Chains A and B, each alone.
Chain A
Amino acid sequence: MSAVAPALPAAVPTRTGLHDPPLVRLALIGISLLFLALFVVTPLVLVFAQAFSAGLGAFFRAIGDPVALAAIRLTLVVAAIAVPLNLGFGLAAAWLIARFHFVGKTLLTSIIDIPLAVSPVISGMVFVLLFGAQGFFGPVLREHDLKIIFAVPGIVLATIFVTFPLVAREVIPVMQAAGSDEELAALTLGASSWQTFWRITLPKIKWGVLYGVLLTNARAMGEFGAVSVVSGHIRGETNTIPLHAEILFNEYSYTGAFAMASLLALLGLGTLVAQYVVGWLGRSEASPR
């Protein structure tokens, strides 16, 4: 259920004597549209308007700038590490929580939700406290000439922390809804555990998994607060796309800042569309043929 964006019901049932007066109806729709136009659509349009305000050439020069390219590369690297790890964790946690009853399950589920409840700033700072120059492991790291904070490993850690609940949260309800009868049948017929997982479980939950991966990836690439705390903002080295956008914005180089922001906005829009498609595929597969 939860892996699917809420769908609009096919038709509104007729409610005799229950319709709002036409004027009220028009007014409410009007206010809603105005609110969304002003609050959601205009800011989105503004990103692209500003990014292209100095022309296509300036936009592509801003994207092609070596520092910007380094930020794009770092963002992709971080996501390429964080997403697969969190996918593995999400599947293990979902299998554990959806399939078994054990002592402490509620506590475990709450711990998984922690990153969604704490401020992104705190998500970053816990790693500074551990690995920063004056952190608990700071002296040990310095001795071995290892750098985690103000370096790529810290960014990866903070990103993993912020995004790890997303796959688990999407997959748990899907796995619960799918039940385990087919798995039991496969095991009875002599399939090994891994065969059962790959051939029975995974096909059943694939849309939920994909949905969770989409969310994880979008969040991993767009995360700002947690990453900003651990990054140190070293140009061309530890700046992801959002951090590079911030620096450019604070330097009043708006074309560059909005070019970076437009990449992230495209990521967000692309994720929304992909979520919609995945939700639709999942629903059409679930409905009886």
Chain B
Amino acid sequence: MSGVRSLLKQPSVLPGFGLSLGVTLVYLGLLVVIPLAGLLLKAASITPEQFWSIATAPRALAAYRLSFGTSLAAAGLNVVFGLLLAWVLVRYRFPGQRLINSLIDLPFALPTAVAGITLTAAYSKNGWFGAPLEALGIRVAYTPLGIIVALTFIGLPFVVRTVQPILEDLEADEEEAAATLGASRWQTFRRVVLPYITPALLTGFALAFARALGEYGSVVFISGNMPGQTEIAPLLIVTKLQQFDYAGAAVIAVVTLLGSLAVLLGVSAFERWNPAARPRAMRA
């Protein structure tokens, strides 16, 4: 027995391997492995043709397209403003900076339903932002634009918190060399700083994108939930569940899972290729 064990585990004099392994495996088995296996079984309980026709139904395709498009737009906005915020927080000093630094984490700390309710109230026809925008002919609440607003809010911390530590680690030497050799500030930023932080920017983008794809709480309030128009993929799953169409819900869930899995595998492959891109103090 001990021979098998030493093959699987490097020897250690520390106690508690068996106990901690047991607790972890039982917990993960009951909570993660069995439920996820149930999901896959459910999705596999129908024929491949049925699976395909549910997965590619017009309403489902519209939901993927909307989820994908709005998540992409929100993650893109997060890259722009996340880089800006990280830059301002790392490179400049101004009053209230500590407070600003803590505010970045607010979207993580605020429950998603609160974000959804308050953003909807702010951007609805007679809300604080909604009324002036409506006068300009721009409607945000109950349109894809509103979904983008909610997803941008939710994803904001990802890019800031991945780029910030990398920017702090950037030594002054290379920028000084560029400046000495006559590069303008903009050239230095574009040719020296930007290549250095690009991996972190991409990681932050992918994390924000993956989070946005699955987001539900903040979006259901502001999206209006019109099938085919403002119905995101997670909402379609909920709708199917409420109609007791478990197999249909499982199919959409599996497709969505594969989508976010692809994004996350991309990130971890990227991090392995470039360890500098790994966020230091990341909390999802």
Interface residues of A (CB under 8 A from B): 1-2, 4-6, 8-9, 11-13, 15-18, 20-21, 24-25, 28-29, 31-33, 35-36, 38-44, 46-47, 50, 88-89, 92-93, 95-96, 99-103, 108, 111-112, 114-122, 125-130, 132-136, 157, 160-161, 164, 166, 169-170, 180, 183-184, 187, 193, 196-197, 215, 218, 221-225, 228-229, 242-243, 245-246, 249, 254, 257-258, 261, 264-265, 267-269, 271-272, 275-276
Contact = CB atoms under 8 A, between A and B. Distances in A.
A29 B10 contact: no
Q: Is the interface of B mostly helix, strand, loop or mixed?
A: helix
Nearest to B7: A103
18 contacts: A36-B103, A88-B23, A96-B21, A99-B14, A103-B9, A111-B28, A116-B284, A119-B214, A119-B256, A125-B241, A130-B35, A134-B244, A187-B13, A225-B234, A242-B113, A242-B114, A242-B217, A261-B117
Contacts, number: 303
Contacts of A16: 176
Given A8-B89, A32-B84, A135-B246, A117 B114 contact: no
B128 A46 contact: yes
A132 B246 contact: yes
Interface residues of B, number: 105
Contacts of B14: 99-100, 180, 183-184, 187
A31 B24 CA distance: 47
Given A5-B281, A180-B14, A129 B113 contact: no
A261 B260 CA distance: 29
Given A96-B17, A125-B39, A18 B176 contact: yes
Given A119-B215, A160-B31, A258 B117 contact: yes
Contacts of A197: 16
Given A6-B164, A119-B256, A96 B24 contact: yes
A239 B67 CA distance: 27
Contacts of B179: 17-18
B92 A134 contact: no
Contact of A100 (B12, B35, B106, B284): B12
Contact of A6 (B12, B161, B257): B161
A272 B102 contact: yes
Contacts of B190: none
Nearest to A120: B216
A130 B34 contact: yes
Interface stretch (B51-59, B93-101, B136-144): B93-101
A96 B244 contact: no
B153 A40 contact: yes
Contact of B111 (A36, A257, A268): A268
B226 interface: no
A224 B113 contact: yes
Given A120-B112, A130-B34, A222-B110, 8 more contacts: A29-B92, A89-B24, A93-B27, A114-B36, A121-B238, A134-B246, A225-B234, A246-B221
B38 A8 contact: no
Nearest to A188: B13
Closest 3 CB pairs of A and B: A222-B111, A119-B214, A126-B35
B277 interface: no
Contacts of A35: 81, 84-85
Contacts of A88: 23
Interface of B: 7-10, 12-17, 19-21, 23-24, 27-28, 31-36, 38-39, 41-42, 81, 84-85, 87-94, 97-98, 100-103, 105-107, 109-122, 128-129, 152-153, 156, 161, 164-165, 168, 172, 175-176, 179-180, 185, 188, 210, 213-217, 220-221, 234-235, 237-238, 241, 244, 246, 249-250, 253, 256-257, 260-261, 264, 280-284
A169 B282 CA distance: 10
Given A6-B164, A197-B16, A271-B109, A101 B9 contact: yes
A109 to B, nearest CB: 11
A249 B105 CA distance: 25
From A16, A32, A132, A222, residue with most partner B Cβ within 10 Å: A32
Contacts of A42: 122, 128-129
A128 B35 CA distance: 9
Given A2-B280, A118-B260, A44 B28 contact: no
A83 to B, nearest CB: 14
A226 B3 CA distance: 44
B156 A40 contact: yes
A276 B237 contact: no
A100 B221 CA distance: 46
